Amino acid sequence: MKVQFKQLLARLGLRVLREPAGVVMGHDLWRDVGLLLQDSANPLCLDVGANHGEVTASMLALKPTNRIHAFELSAKCQSLLRTRFGSSSRVTLVASGLGDEEGAREFLTYTNDQLSSFLPLQTDSGNPFRDEVEVARVQVPVTTLDLYAARANLGPIDLLKIDTQGFDLRVLRGAAGLLQKGQITHVLIELNFLELYQGQANPAEIIAFLGQHGLHLVDFYEKCRQNQRLGWCTALFRKL
């Protein structure tokens, strides 16, 4: 009966996976994050590239004691975040970008605000977003995570989420001091295997950089495929 049931599910394009209690399995991102952070009494999480706040909301749902600093540059998204989290004492909204040096930088916004970035979109035929329309370019403030953490008097960071549309390695480089001190224990980051942005980091560079600082891959999640290959995904890293 069990074999027949599995065969039926397979014909429907479905399968059942067993998830032993308390074991990270790589199937459900927020289940795994919750397991990894369960021993932290008051987790501090940074949402860099908060966009509409989906990850901030997921972080808040993990524990009633979670504290979040959410970074977002788009004026439209900042307004959405204020509406969604402005009354929460657990969320600090930050209208600043993060990178590998402090100053100001041109920020490009697109009709699809999830694609807005410091980097221009790649225009070759391999990029499924190559025809996205640019809306505006604005100068925005940028700092490093090392400087922000010092000014905000942050303690250990339990989870650093980075989704900055190709700018992710530069954000990590701006957190080199924190990483070297072991003050960041988990990193959740987007990896682009297709060249979506001009000058974006190679996933291998990001993985190597994190490995140099003692953070190792837990698993890949939220995988998106393009033309039978992995286009981009979310990767979770843990300090061992």
| Sequence ranges of the domains in the chain | 25-239
Question: What is the C-alpha to C-alpha distance for residues 106 and 109, in angstroms, rounded to an integer?
Answer: 10
Query: Which pair of structure tokens corresponds to residue 38?
Result: 């369960």
Question: What is the C-alpha to C-alpha distance for residues 60 and 212, in angstroms, rounded to an integer?
Answer: 30
Output the tens digit of pLDDT for each of the chain's 240 residues. 566 555 555 666 666 667 788 789 899 999 999 999 999 999 999 999 999 999 999 999 998 899 999 999 999 999 999 999 999 999 999 999 999 999 999 999 999 999 999 999 999 988 999 999 999 999 999 999 999 999 999 999 999 999 999 999 999 999 999 999 999 999 999 999 999 999 999 999 999 999 999 999 999 999 999 989 999 999 999 998
Q: What are phi and psi of 160, to 5 degrees?
A: -110, 110
The pTM score is 0.92
* Bridge partner list, 108: 117, 137
What is 25-239's CATH number, 3.30.565.10, 2.40.50.100, 3.40.50.150, 3.40.50.880? 3.40.50.150
